Amino acid sequence: MSKDGTERAADVLVFATGFKAHGFVAPMEVIGEGSRTLAQAWDGKPRAYLGMSVPGFPNFFLLYGPNTGGGTGSVIYTIEAGMNHVISALDALESSHAQRIEVRQEVADSFDAELRGALADTVWHTGCSSWYVDQNGHNPTLWPWTATAYRRRTATIDPAAYQITSGEQRLG
């Protein structure tokens, strides 16, 4: 029924409430080293190594973070793959008697360059406008490879990708 009391027949009624697909940790504020927030680190461009690890945020892992969405894949599959990575990181901490694990800046930067290169030739970056891409042309949403590739790449941590430290001593 409309505001003026007129009834109209309808086969479908859609309630579109909107959403913020790029707000990965909203409304939380995550604070890392030097009191720097995750929002400051991202500076409007959410990005993370394998969608999970951000330099300057030790012992912090995102599940279904930036660039982990697969336009046709399962969110559950992606989260399960991410959990394997987190468990591997916890095992690395335990086996080295360490207290801190953090992705190396150069590894995160290299991964982001690889990911952006892979996204460049996809339909989402060759003229198609969609909610995957923000107003500045940045895609913080999609994983450009297969879901199987995500599971394979996140199955265990690469110890060389992370700094593992115990107290002040660096182990990796």
pLDDT at 59: 94
Is 2's pLDDT higher than 90?
Answer: no
Q: What is the pTM of this model?
A: 0.85
- 3-state DSSP helix/strand/coil percent for the chain, to nearest 5? 35, 10, 55
Is 170's pLDDT higher than 70?
Answer: no
Q: Tell me the pLDDT tens digit for each residue of 108-144.
A: 999 999 999 999 988 888 877 788 888 888 899 999 9
Is 168's pLDDT higher than 60?
Answer: no
Domains of the chain: 33-170 (3.50.50.60)
For tokens 């993370």, the residue is: 48
Is 4's pLDDT higher than 50?
Answer: yes
pLDDT at 171: 47
CA distances from 70 to 43, 78, 95, 97, 111 (A): 24, 9, 33, 36, 17
SS3 assignment, position 17: coil
